[in-house]
Amino acid sequence: MDLTTTSQDSLIPFLMLSESFVASTLASSKSPTASLRDVGICVHELLPSSILRSTFKKSSTTTNCLAVSPSHIFTAQADKAVLHVYSREKGNQEGIVPFPERIRSIAVAGGKYGDVLVLGTEGGRLILWETSTGRQVATTASHLQPVTSIVVDPTSNFILSGSSDASVHVWSLSGILSFSKPAFSATRQPTNSPIRTFSNHRAAITSLAVGHSNGRNNIVVSTAKDNTAIAWDYHTGRSLRTFLLPFSATSVALDPVDRAFYVGYEDGSVQSVDFYRGNSSQNPLHDPSVQSTPVQVSTEDRWLPPSAESGSVNTISLTYDGTTLLSGHANGKVLSWNVARRKYISAVADYTHPITNLFMLPPGGIPHPSSDLKRKAHTVVKPRHDNGLSAPLHAPGAVPAEYMFHTQIIASDSKTRKPTQFSQALTHASFPDFMIDDGLAELAAFHQPGTEVRVSGSAPKEPVEDRAHESQVAELENVVSVLKKKVAVNETARHNADDEVVQLRSDLANLQDYINELHEKQEAAQKAKVLRKARKQEHERKKREAWLAAEKNGRSGDAVVQKMDVDGAVTSDSDDQSDE
């Protein structure tokens, strides 16, 4: 729905925001309802109202076998070596693509257009399919067992694949697709082999979740059947933190700002694990002093489902703002969880078949600034393998025969339609210029109660003289100068505060060491006191025995005791000196 309001200058459209998700199911013997008969994929609107928008039939997928691009939906079929392709725009099945082996996981790469489909096979290799050209490239079988999970990083430069062989490989997307490449790299490895391997797990990989950073520092969280979840840097392969989970995680998802991750378990419960718990003065994931210490996750912190009939959590996904967690269960229900309150909210949908995948779509109704030209793939080109290109000795820079790129260029009307202030404020990285100007003008008006300030987008009620205008400009410049000085002072204060916090933490650690040293000295003194008391008691016992023995032999017991007292005093003095 589009609502418009009229102003003096232009029409400002207000778009209603919406949020939807795509769910896939696995066909089972359970009899479905009449409305969902033969339905395998559902497009469900979550906000502003929960309603089923569209469905796609004749599909049965396992976990990690759903991929969604801006134009299409791809599903790898369970127990079949085929891939179903659905058109989101046309709302129908566009094609069925066979493959030489079964596909166990898929993901979309290629940035905002999703031009490349990455498939993990039963034999442990990756297949890359350019959907706009039909080109198909296969990697070496680097995994010893099936590829169970695939994710692509936000830059679409790297592919991460997890397998049942307990390893995670990092691949270069451009390196695999490049035409101009030698048969072997500098390390004598084929160029379509993984560039890095992470093997800290001891059991099959169940799920992967990559961070949202586009920079050089980004993380990935991997879960395995050894009841562990590990956060690591896929650029270096270095393990950052190991989390000991109470059970084996079936799925994992990362918070939109990478502050926590969420896991689902086979008993139907979910759990949130915060990266920033602890007393570390810096990012705990990059603090070397705590990286070697595993974190034990408490069983009591799990979020329990409304009933035990929910079944295993097969997949989880977060909404765009990270405030709601969705989980797909084996009983066919999609449950909603409140992240802030850490508890179950309601059942969003019931598809009768086990839910295997949940994919959150980008929010609708938000105007996105873009270039003048866009492109859209109305149809996909079925893959065809070029044996000549895959030969080890192919000529560098060789292009396969009949290599054609199929797409549609759409001209944008951004030149004819001026963006509204509402859309600028909603999509700007920080604050638009007109909002900053309005704020400065209002700030200057506080110092001059009788002065009328012109706000961007409105006409002045009365003409302003040049002298008054120059005065107002000068005052605004002074205000800007003062604000800049305050910003500089605040920045300096913030740095000083950080330094003070570090110094206080260091002083606290030194004070704790001093207290521990005092405790050790106190314990040593107490032990010495106990030893002296024991020696004294032993001396008294010997005196009594010596007195009795002397009396029995007709000697003076008192003389013997007196002599022992003199000898004992000398020994006691020497013991006290040694104790000191």
Return the pLDDT at 479.
Answer: 84
Q: What is the pLDDT of residues 551-570, one digit of tens each?
A: 888 888 888 888 877 776 65
Q: What is the pLDDT of residues 271-320, one digit of tens each?
A: 999 988 766 566 778 878 788 889 999 999 999 999 888 899 999 999 99
% of residues, the chain, pLDDT over 90:
42
Number of neighbours of residue 210 by Cβ within 10 angstroms? 21
The Cα diameter of the chain in Å comes to 132
In DSSP terms, which residues pair with 241 in a beta bridge?
231
Residue that wins the pLDDT comparison between 131 and 112 = 131
Q: 18-362+374-390, what's its fold?
A: Methylamine Dehydrogenase; Chain H (2.130.10)
Domain coordinates of the chain in residue numbers?
18-362+374-390, 465-580
Is pLDDT at 365 greater than 80 in this prediction? no
Q: Return the structure tokens found at 382.
A: 């079925």
Distance spanning both ends of the chain, measured CA to CA = 88
Q: Return the structure tokens found at 430.
A: 């920080």
User: In Å, what is the CA distance from 207 to each residue of 35, 144, 298, 412, 498?
Assistant: 32, 17, 21, 39, 38
Return the pLDDT at 113.
Answer: 74
Q: Return the structure tokens found at 462.
A: 């009365």
Q: Which residue has the tokens 């691949």?
A: 171
User: Of the given ranges (17-21, 543-547, 562-566), which has the lowest mean pLDDT?
Assistant: 562-566
Question: Taking the CA of residue 460 as centre, how many other CA atoms within 13 Å lie in the half-sphere pointing to its CB?
Answer: 9
Return the pLDDT at 566.
Answer: 76
Contact 313, 271 (CB under 8 A): no
Is pLDDT at 177 greater than 80 in this prediction? yes
By DSSP bridging, strand 238-244 and strand 295-296 are parallel
Residue that wins the pLDDT comparison between 415 and 243 = 243
pTM score: 0.68
Which one-letter amino acid corresponds to residue 354? P
Per the prediction, the chain carries an average pLDDT of 82
Which one-letter amino acid corresponds to residue 524? A
Distance CA 397, CA 459 (A): 61
Return the pLDDT at 105.
Answer: 96
The arithmetic mean of pLDDT across residues 72-92, rounded, is: 93
Q: What is the pLDDT of residues 488-512, one digit of tens each?
A: 888 888 778 878 888 888 888 888 8
Strands of the sheet with 39-47, listed across from one edge: 51-57, 39-47, 19-25, 355-360
Res. 8 pLDDT band, cuts 50 70 90: very low
Helix (H) or strand (E) holding 223: strand 219-224
Q: Which of 180, 184, 74 is nearest to 140 (CA)?
A: 184
Return the pLDDT at 417.
Answer: 58
Helix (H) or strand (E) holding 571: helix 557-579
Q: Which of 213, 212, 214, 233 is nearest to 222 (CA)?
A: 233
Is pLDDT at 350 greater than 60 in this prediction? yes
Return the pLDDT at 76.
Answer: 96
Contact 189, 152 (CB under 8 A): no
Which one-letter amino acid corresponds to residue 44? H
DSSP state of 193: S
User: In Å, what is the CA distance from 362 to each residue of 25, 112, 312, 353, 378?
Assistant: 21, 11, 27, 25, 19
Cis ω for the linkage preceding 100 (within 30 of 0): no
Distance CA 195, CA 190 (A): 10
DSSP state of 405: -
Distance CA 12, CA 185 (A): 56
Return the pLDDT at 14.
Answer: 46
Q: What is the pLDDT of residues 506-538, one digit of tens each?
A: 888 888 888 888 888 988 999 899 998 898 888
Return the pLDDT at 160.
Answer: 97
In DSSP terms, which residues pair with 121 in a beta bridge?
103
Q: Which of 65, 81, 72 is nearest to 118 (CA)?
A: 65
Res. 401 pLDDT band, cuts 50 70 90: low
Distance CA 478, CA 448 (A): 14
Return the pLDDT at 398.
Answer: 58
Distance CA 226, CA 203 (A): 5
Residue that wins the pLDDT comparison between 100 and 464 = 100
Is pLDDT at 187 greater than 80 in this prediction? no
Number of neighbours of residue 308 by Cβ within 10 angstroms? 9
Q: Which of 216, 214, 264, 222 is nearest to 239 (CA)?
A: 222
Is pLDDT at 258 greater than 50 in this prediction? yes
Q: Which of 493, 406, 481 is nearest to 444 (CA)?
A: 481
DSSP secondary structure string for all residues of 233-246: ETTTTEEEEEEE-S
Is pLDDT at 410 greater than 50 in this prediction? yes
Is pLDDT at 188 greater than 70 in this prediction? no
Number of neighbours of residue 485 by Cβ within 10 angstroms? 10
Q: Return the structure tokens found at 26.
A: 């696995």
Return the pLDDT at 44.
Answer: 95
The arithmetic mean of pLDDT across residues 152-162, rounded, is: 94
Return the pLDDT at 11.
Answer: 38
Return the pLDDT at 120.
Answer: 96
